[in-house]
A and B are shown apart, each in its own frame.
Chain A
Amino acid sequence: MALDTSTAPTASSKLVKAATSETRVARLTLIAVALGFVALFLLLPLATVFIEAFRKGPAEFATALRDPETFSAIRLTLIVAAISVPLNLVFGVAASWAIAKFEFKGKAFLTTLIDLPFSVSPVISGLVFVLLFGANSALGPFLQKHGIHILFAVPGLVLATVFVTFPFVARELIPLMQEQGTSDEEAALSLGATGWQTFWHVTLPNIKWGLLYGVLLCNARAMGEFGAVSVVSGHIRGQTNTMPLQVEILYNEYNFVAAFAVAAVLALLALVTLVLKTALEIRYSDEIAASRRH
Chain B
Amino acid sequence: MAFRSSTRWRFRQPSVIPGFGLALGVTLAWLTLIVLIPLSGLIWRSTSLGWSSFMSLVLDERTVNALTISFGTAFIAAVVNLFFGVVLAWVLVRYRFPGKRVIDAMVDLPFALPTAVAGIALTALYAPNGWIGSLLEPLGIKIAFTPAGIVVALVFVGLPFVVRTVQPVMEEIDKEVEEAAATLGANRFQTISRVLLPGLLPAGLTGFALAFARGVGEYGSVIFIAGNLPYVSEIAPLLIIIRLEEFNYPAATAIATVMLFLSFIMLLVINSIQAWSRRRYSNGA
Q: Indicate, yes or no, whether A interacts with B.
A: yes
The interface of chain A, by Cβ under 8 A from chain B, is 16, 19-23, 26-27, 30-31, 33-35, 37-38, 40-46, 48-49, 52, 87, 90-91, 94-95, 97-99, 101-105, 110, 112-114, 116-117, 119-124, 127-132, 134, 136-137, 159, 162-163, 166, 182, 185-186, 189-190, 195, 198-199, 217, 220, 223-227, 230-231, 243-245, 247-248, 251, 256, 259-260, 263, 266-267, 270-271, 273-275, 277-278, 292-294
Min Cβ gap A200→B in Å is 12
Residues of B within 8 A of A120 (CB): 39, 217, 260, 263
Q: How many of B's residues come within 8 Å of A, CB to CB?
A: 97
C-alpha spacing A40/B264, complex, angstroms: 33
Min Cβ gap B221→A in Å is 8
27 contacts between A and B (CB under 8 A): A19-B178, A26-B188, A30-B91, A35-B103, A41-B155, A94-B27, A98-B20, A98-B27, A112-B271, A113-B35, A119-B266, A120-B217, A120-B263, A121-B237, A121-B263, A123-B256, A127-B253, A129-B38, A131-B38, A131-B249, A224-B116, A226-B115, A226-B116, A260-B120, A271-B112, A292-B167, A293-B168
Give B10-25 as 1s and 0s: 1 = Cβ < 8 Å from A's Cβ atoms. Answer: 1111011111101110
What residue in chain A is nearest B43 (Cβ atoms)?
Answer: A128
Kindly identify which residue among B27, B171, B244 contacts A130, using a CB–CB cutoff of 8 Å.
Answer: B244
Given contacts A159-B34, A292-B168, A270 and B112 within 8 Å (CB-CB) = yes
Contact B125 A102 (CB under 8 A): no
Min Cβ gap B222→A in Å is 10
Contact A274 B106 (CB under 8 A): yes
Q: Is the interface of A mostly helix, strand, loop or mixed?
A: helix
Contact B16 A186 (CB under 8 A): yes
Contact B13 A277 (CB under 8 A): no
Contact A42 B217 (CB under 8 A): no
**Is B124 an interface residue when CB atoms closer than 8 A count as contact?**
yes
Contact A42 B109 (CB under 8 A): yes
Residues of B within 8 A of A266 (CB): 113-114, 116-117
Min Cβ gap A277→B in Å is 7
Kindly identify which residue among B106, B114, B115 contacts A223, using a CB–CB cutoff of 8 Å.
Answer: B114
**Is B31 an interface residue when CB atoms closer than 8 A count as contact?**
yes
Contact B112 A226 (CB under 8 A): no
Residues of B within 8 A of A129 (CB): 38
Kindly identify which residue among A45, A91, A124, A163 contacts B156, using a CB–CB cutoff of 8 Å.
Answer: A45
**Is B150 an interface residue when CB atoms closer than 8 A count as contact?**
no
Residues of A within 8 A of B271 (CB): 112
Contact A226 B220 (CB under 8 A): yes
Residues of B within 8 A of A278 (CB): 101, 105
Kindly identify which residue among A20, A41, A102, A231 contacts B12, using a CB–CB cutoff of 8 Å.
Answer: A102
Given contacts A124-B259, A251-B224, A226 and B113 within 8 Å (CB-CB) = no
Residues of A within 8 A of B82 (CB): none
Residues of A within 8 A of B106 (CB): 38, 42-43, 274
Contact B220 A227 (CB under 8 A): yes
Contact B18 A124 (CB under 8 A): no
What residue in chain A is nearest B155 (Cβ atoms)?
Answer: A41
Residues of B within 8 A of A186 (CB): 16-17
Within 8 A of A (CB), among B86-111: 87-88, 90-92, 94-95, 97, 101, 103, 105-111
Residues of B within 8 A of A21 (CB): 94, 188
C-alpha spacing A281/B281, complex, angstroms: 27
The interface of chain B, by Cβ under 8 A from chain A, is 10-13, 15-20, 22-24, 26-27, 30-31, 34-39, 41-42, 45, 84, 87-88, 90-92, 94-95, 97, 101, 103, 105-118, 120-122, 124-125, 131-132, 152, 155-156, 159, 164-165, 167-168, 171, 175, 178-179, 182-183, 188, 191, 213, 216-220, 224, 237-238, 240-241, 244, 249, 252-253, 256, 259-260, 263-264, 266-267, 271
C-alpha spacing A186/B213, complex, angstroms: 41
Contact B35 A163 (CB under 8 A): yes
Residues of A within 8 A of B108 (CB): 274, 277, 294
Residues of A within 8 A of B37 (CB): 132
Contact B164 A292 (CB under 8 A): yes
Contact A113 B95 (CB under 8 A): no
Contact B35 A42 (CB under 8 A): no
Kindly identify which residue among A33, A114, A119, A271 contacts B87, using a CB–CB cutoff of 8 Å.
Answer: A33
Residues of B within 8 A of A26 (CB): 188
Kindly identify which residue among B34, B41, B87, B105 contacts A34, using a CB–CB cutoff of 8 Å.
Answer: B87
Residues of A within 8 A of B92 (CB): 34
- Given A123-B241, A159-B34, A198-B17, 5 extra CB contacts under 8 A: A20-B178, A121-B259, A128-B42, A217-B111, A230-B219
Contact A116 B35 (CB under 8 A): yes
Contact A131 B42 (CB under 8 A): yes
